[in-house]
Structure 1
Amino acid sequence: MIKALVIAPYEGLIEIMREIAEEVTDFELHTEMGNLYEGVEIAKKSKSHGYDMIISRGGTASLVQEVVSIPVIDIQVSGYDILRLLTLVKGFSGKAAIVGFPNISQGAATICNLLDLDINTMTIQKDVEVEDRLKSLKDDGYEVVIGDVVTVEAAKQLGMNGVLITSGKEAVMESLDEARRVYQLFSKLHEEILVYQSIIDAEERLIGVVDDVGKLICANKQFHAEFSNEMIESTPQLKEIIQSTYKRKTNQTKMLTLHNQLWNISTSYNENHLILFFETAFPNHTNVQEEDGGQYAVEVQTNVPHVLMTGKSKQIQEVMKQVEKYSRMDEPLWIIGETGNGKDTVAQSIYLKSKKNNEPFITIHCDLLKEGQLKELLQENYFRDHANGIVYLKRIDRLDAYSQKEFYHYFHTHKGKLPRLIVSSNDEFAIDERDATIDHELFTLLGRLIIYLPPLRERVQDIENLIPVFISEFHSKYSKQIVGVRQEAMQELIEYDWPRNVDQLKQVIEQLVLHSNSYYLEKEEVSSVIALLKQRQEDEYSEHNQIEISGTLKDIEKRVITQVLEEEDMNQSKAAKRLGINRSTLWRKLKS
């Protein structure tokens, strides 16, 4: 039985490995997700787990090979993999290019020539070349970049559409064949290593073997449980002991404090390496207590994902221009649009493109703020403490009138000492004095710049651009090998009105991709899902319109008002307008 660690640079590879793990009988496969240096860390931590080899892909495999002593098998990108991706990319708008190492770019160029596809191919030798190459492509008008994980992530950061070349099942099976061949060659050597490892693992002392520059070569399990490789290689006192031992060519003993523990450390000299022995001088009684920090409804992100904004409609093109322009400004910004239409994406795009993107991105979920929590934020000067960053006040229209007034007075008083404020709200609100859902003064203060996101039903031509992007995302997540949508199926998707906008479209595409067993999303699958959506809408409408008529007239009236409020997404002005009363009358009837 071959025990192998699979380090998957992307989610879809995990799904393929799970499927293959059920088919092969001579492998014990353990899969973890990690790209490049994340994969390296996984490989380092796995050294004491008794793996025969590591299986990974591309740049991750190359980096892992540098830090482990066991064989590393590289999953190759096959011609089938490239052909599938090229077929999918035909559905994208804009110029496309393939950027990758020779094993990708050379095969891709050949297939493009055979199929007469107008897709530029560019070869790189090192990952540090990626950013400059992509900037050059962007300047030349390219919008779509096909490549490995590094290329795709770099493309997204530059606002381009990155499409990941995934490895199909065929390529993974070929890598397992290679693993079998390598295992036969290294099995005897591996057995010897296990014997030596078991000997040092039996020692109670912590044992580490280092070379002449202090790099850890191997260690026993007790050592790995206490120390990381980096700690050993970067601690000045240990470096001094190692260098002194090599210089004098004699064994040494010293006492050091590491990890709040006093250790007796001794060295054993050899021309090619030296052995470090660690023994505790006395037990460690230091206790570390962790407090459950963080505030409810306050989200702090230090690593905001790049989400591509795409579409051909004039409306979304205008929004993208506003994002570019407003990201260079510091004035407050108000984003308006229906639920599920991408207001968060706009806010995050502003942040990522701004000069403040090295600071945390803080989101205040206004609809989740508990009673008294807003006052705590203001009294503790939470906003002034983050004056160099960006704070996103999400769904500010869900705040009650009193809380909005508190916000206004605080922001008005502390002008010039605040972070940049980005605000979002539903597109149907009122700011007039009698039926206001948004405080007029607060809107005047924070709505200096406004971005309006029209609903998806008003920009249906964007649907054709969004769907390939979603398929590409779920393609790498589920590894389904889908390359496009049949025209009849696309037409049904375009004709549906998408009441919950882009979020709903993305959710439907994910379900279609997940359950599809074809290379294309077919009309029958789409028709079935759309029919189900329409049925649910009818059921919800019917359910909402069933009003219990038992009780007094006052009870029935209150139930009617409550239902109308729910149907209007708790929008007080819209509910009052439908009922033919003003807002003060509405609340008087609810509270009576």
Structure 2
Amino acid sequence: MARILLIAPYPGLKELFIEITQETGKKVEIEIGELTKGLAIAREREKEGWDAIISHGTTARLLQQHCHIPVVEVRSSGYDMLRTLMLLKGFPGKIGVVGSHGFIQGAETVGTLLDMDLSFFLTEKEEDNETVLQQAAVQGVQTIISEVISQVDAANYGLHTFSVVPGREAVIEAINEAERISTYTAREKATHFLYENIFRGYEDGIVAIDAKINKMIANKKAEVLLGIEAELNSENTGEATTLCFQFEDIVIQGQLSTEEICNISGKEILVKKRVIIDKDEVVGAFAILKEIDELKRTESRLRRIVYGPKRAQTRFTDLIATTEEMKSQIETARLFSKYETPVLIYGEPGVGKQSLAEAIHNDSPRRDRPFLILDCGTLCDSDLQTDLFGEDGAELFNTARGGTIYLSSIEKLSPDVQDKLIHLLQEAKKKQAGNPELSPFFPRIIASNSRELQFEIKRGRFRKELYRMLSGGTLRIPSLRERKADIPELVRWFIASFNMREGKQIVGVRPEVMAQLTEAPWPENVRQLKSTVEKLCQAGRGMFIEAAEAEDILRELFTVPEPSLEVEEETSGQTSAKPEISRKPSSNREHTESNAFGIQIENKTLEELEAEIIMRVLEEEHNNQSQAAKRLGINRTTLWRKINKA
């Protein structure tokens, strides 16, 4: 039987292959990896004797250039193009199609039938892609359909990318072609079985022995740990076998695994022994050797950093905004991203505060540095102190060197942790003042909270000084109830994401379904909308999500009471906390008072906001223009010009 490996650039293609192989009985092993990640997987696994590799789009073309075994591309059919264009039909922006002559011809034919206005950009070679993207951006294209342009490349020009997701017909044809090719390329490569299944991917020490206990092999790490290189690789393994943890126990007695801690040459080593089984027969055993000291160091690192460092995924081009208020917040966030001041983001749970923080990081000069997340609402006080300060008093700051730290649910910090964080920030500022060259190495702080921190300051639960340090710029993301005009576009992109992940070809929801989605109260905001759309996609059986399919799911939306519009009140010394929704923050008395602490954005142009940021930083730096320019991430000449303009 042919050995075929699928390297799927996205999860949806994997799911479609699983569905078809289960129906047809064909055997295909599946990995997920896009572009260079997919190439790394292919290079690693092509040593295993695969007859053919199947992939799709730009990943397939990359594999064809660099792999030594045949690569079959899943080519989208006319039906796939039809489904993609139907999904985009009604999109208010300009749509471009990028690809080869044949790809464009197919899109033009289907687009004409659907009465869609499309722009076409021909690219036959990979080196032409950048020029084509520049042309598309200049011509005002907002979304492109392509199989040769990656999402990352398109995002660099502010463009969204829609891939033509291949359907069943294209997948079946690709498998058939791979089987035809493998007929001529299949060959025996089982001689590397033992090495490939034991040594591949391990950084720990590994020792292996055959079932007859006649031959033993070890990797370099094991030889160093055991200090018996010559004996381990010799044919006479009697004494070495005894030293190497009595392999006879698991080989002869047939135990599947054992685990113990041994003292070897003065070091404590965790030894995990496992049997190797081939066709229900024990053919040998191996041991993985882990240094206890290294395990302790790893555990410590994992405890100190909950979710990071990680790569921030969201960019400003990924954020959906058709309402003026949301557009204003995003534009202001773009402005904040150009400077080094801390940012405080307000918004109800589920509105996308972390996504906005990631977009600010990705649009800033720190984009290539770590983005660390610390959820202050999920950790106990001792864990928060460990993660923030560690043994040296600045653990998180050192890990995020030059990057961004995102602190969510900031009000959950205890007074003790707040005091220590204030001290840490003050010390960092002193070091920056003493040595301006160090400024780029200190992390930027972005904090978020679901309600205004002034409430907590008044009750003595949040330090006013910490608030002042964190609120260099303030953003307020409106709830989904306040931006219902965005719901149709959000639904569209959530469907597209689901199609890519699950391999479906849904093109939209029926008008009556969209009407109910728009009317729903959405107490959990965009997060709840995304979850609901995914449920609808799972329930859908055709190209459109029908009202009958959505009935039960939509009914649940209207059984949850809409959050109260009342704010917190104090009655007879008792605090009654109720969900707060400020539809017009500028008219809220508590909101107005916050002007004493941070920069507010209501009723201001971007130029006015920029001028206020500059003056705020100048004041904090005692009018030292050199130091202010360092903090703002601009040169002194630019700062001088902006001061005069202001």
Structure 1 length normalisation: TM-score? 0.73
Matched, 1:333 2:325: no
Other-structure match for 1:268: none
**Residues of 2 paired with 1:136 and 1:404: CA distance?**
51
Per-residue deviation, 1:294: 2.2
Name the SS of the counterpart of 1:368 in structure 2. coil
Match of 1:366 among 360, 365, 376: 376
- Residue equivalent to 1:205: none
| Cross-structure match for 1:29 | 28
Change (3 A) 1:158 1:500: farther
Is 1:443 paired with 2:478? no
Residue equivalent to 2:393:
380
Q: Which moved more, 1:492-501 or 1:111-120?
A: 111-120
The 5-angstrom pairing of residues 183-262 of structure 1 reads 183-184=182-183, 186=184, 190=186, 193-194=187-188, 197=189, 201=191, 222=195, 226=199, 259=220
Q: Aligned to 2:311, what secondary structure does the other structure show? A: coil
Answer whether contact 2:3 2:182 (CA < 8 A) is retained.
no
User: Structure 2 CA distance, aligned partners of 1:170 and 1:441?
Assistant: 63
Cα 1:167–1:445 shift into 2, 3 Å: same
Q: For the structure 1 residues 34 and 102, does the alpha-carbon distance in structure 2 shift closer, same or farther, using more than 3 Å as the test?
A: farther
The residue aligned with 2:4 is 4
| CA deviation after TM superposition for structure 1 residue 162, in Å | 2.0
Distance 1:441 1:281, change over 3 A: same
Secondary structure in structure 1 of the residue aligned to 2:3: strand
Aligned equivalent of 2:308, options 297, 300, 304: 300
One-letter identity of the residue aligned with 2:553: V
Partner of 2:573: 581
The secondary structure found in structure 2 opposite 1:427 is: coil
What secondary structure is seen at the aligned counterpart in 2 of 1:112? Answer: helix
Give the alignment of 1:35-54 within 5 angstroms.
35-54=34-53
Q: How does 1:458-537 map to 2 (within 5 A)?
A: 458-535=482-559, 537=560
Question: Which residues in structure 2 correspond to 1:95-110 (within 5 Å)?
Answer: 95-110=94-109
1:283 and 2:275 aligned: no
Question: The residue matched to 1:421 in structure 2 has which SS?
Answer: strand
Corresponding residue for residue 605 of structure 2: none
Matched ranges for 1:69-218 at <5 A:
69-148=68-147, 150-184=149-183, 186=184, 190=186, 193-194=187-188, 197=189, 201=191
Where structure 1 has 5 or more consecutive residues not aligned to the other structure, the ranges are 203-219, 229-256, 264-279, 542-566, 585-592
Which of 395, 398, 403 matches 1:389? Answer: 403
For 1:406, give the aligned amino acid. K
Q: Percent identity?
A: 30
Q: Deviations over 1:320-366 (max 9, x none)?
A: 21121111010111000100001001100000000011110111211
2:423 — aligned with what? 409
Secondary structure, counterpart of 1:295 in structure 2: helix
Q: Please identify, of 138-147 and 333-342, the stretch whose mean Cα deviation from structure 2 is larger.
A: 138-147
Does the alignment pair 1:318 with 2:354?
no
SS in 2 for 1:77: coil
Supply the distance in 2 between the matched residues of 1:437 and 1:101 (Cα, whole angstroms): 62
SS at match of 2:28: strand
Q: Distance in 1 between matches of 2:551 and 2:510?
A: 12
Counterpart amino acid of 1:382? E
Matched, 1:400 2:414: yes
The change in CA–CA distance for 1:487 and 1:373 in structure 2 (over 3 A counts) is same
CA distance in 1: counterparts of 2:67 and 2:457, whole angstroms: 69
- Name the counterpart of 1:210: none
Show the counterpart of 2:363.
353
CA contact (8 A) 1:351 1:390 kept: yes
Tell me if the contact between 1:492 and 1:526 (Cα under 8 Å) persists in the aligned partners: no
Deviation larger for 148-157 or 161-170: 148-157
**Contact 2:7–2:33 (CA under 8 A) maintained in structure 1:** yes
CA contact (8 A) 2:3 2:28 kept: yes
- 1:83 corresponds to which letter in structure 2? L
SS at match of 1:2: coil
Between the aligned partners of 2:180 and 2:457, the Cα distance in structure 1 is: 79
Amino acid at match of 1:404: Q
User: Which range moves more in the overlay, 458-467 or 35-44?
Assistant: 35-44
Cα distance in 1 for partners of 2:303, 2:75 equals 46
Q: Which runs of no fewer than 5 residues in structure 2 stay unpaired?
A: 202-217, 234-263, 266-288, 433-438, 577-646
CA deviation after TM superposition for structure 1 residue 36, in Å: 2.3
TM-score (norm 2): 0.68
Assess if the C-alpha contact under 8 Å between 2:370 and 2:404 holds in 1.
Answer: yes
Greater alpha carbon shift after TM alignment, 427-436 vs 16-25: 427-436
Contact 2:80 2:166 in 1 (8 A): yes
| C-alpha separation in 2, matches of 1:36 and 1:578 | 57
The separation in 1 between residues aligned to 2:143 and 2:381, in whole angstroms, is 47
Distance 1:296 1:508, change over 3 A: farther
Instruction: Tell me by how many angstroms 1:18 deviates.
Output: 0.9
Shift, 1:370, TM fit: 2.9
The DSSP-based 3-state class of the residue aligned with 1:23 is helix
Q: Secondary structure at the match of 1:162?
A: strand
SS of the counterpart of 1:145? strand
2:18 corresponds in structure 1 to: 18
1:210-235 superposed Cα distances (whole Å, 9 cap, x missing partner): xxxxxxxxxx864796579xxxxxxx
* 1:38 Cα deviation after fit: 2.2
TM-superposed CA distance for 1:48, in Å, is 4.7
Is the CA contact (8 Å cut-off) linking 1:463 and 1:494 kept in structure 2? yes
For the 8 Å contact 1:6–1:31, the answer to whether it is kept is yes
CA distance in 2, matches of 1:149, 1:30: 24
CA distance 1:372–1:179, shift in 2 (3 Å):
closer
Partner of 2:302, secondary structure, is coil
Shift, 1:439, TM fit: 2.5
Query: Are the equivalent residues in 1 in contact too, given 2:314–2:356 (CA < 8 A)?
Result: no
Amino acid at match of 2:12: G
Q: Which of 45-54 and 337-346 deviates more?
A: 45-54
Alpha-carbon shift at residue 387 of structure 1 (Å): 4.7
Query: Once the 2 structures are TM-superposed, how far is the Cα of residue 527 of structure 1 from its aligned partner?
Result: 3.4
**Alpha-carbon distance in structure 2 between the residues aligned to 1:282 and 1:104:** 62
The structural deviation recorded for 1:127 is: 3.7
Structure 1 residue 298 displacement after superposition = 3.5
Instruction: Please state how far the C-alpha of 1:160 moved relative to its aligned partner.
Output: 2.9
After superposition, the Cα gap between the structure-2 partners of 1:445 and 1:304, relative to the gap in structure 1 and judged at 3 Å, is closer
Structure 1's 305 and 581: CA in aligned 2 closer, same or farther, altered over 3 A?
Answer: same
Aligned-pair Cα RMSD in Å = 3.2
Give 3-state SS (helix, strand or coil) of 1:82's partner: helix
Q: What is the rounded CA distance, in whole Å, between the counterparts of 1:412 and 1:222 in structure 2?
A: 55
Partner of 1:419: 443
Aligned to 1:549: none
State the Cα distance separating 1:114 from its structure 2 match: 4.1
Of 397-406 and 464-473, deviating more is 397-406
2:357 alignment partner AA:
A
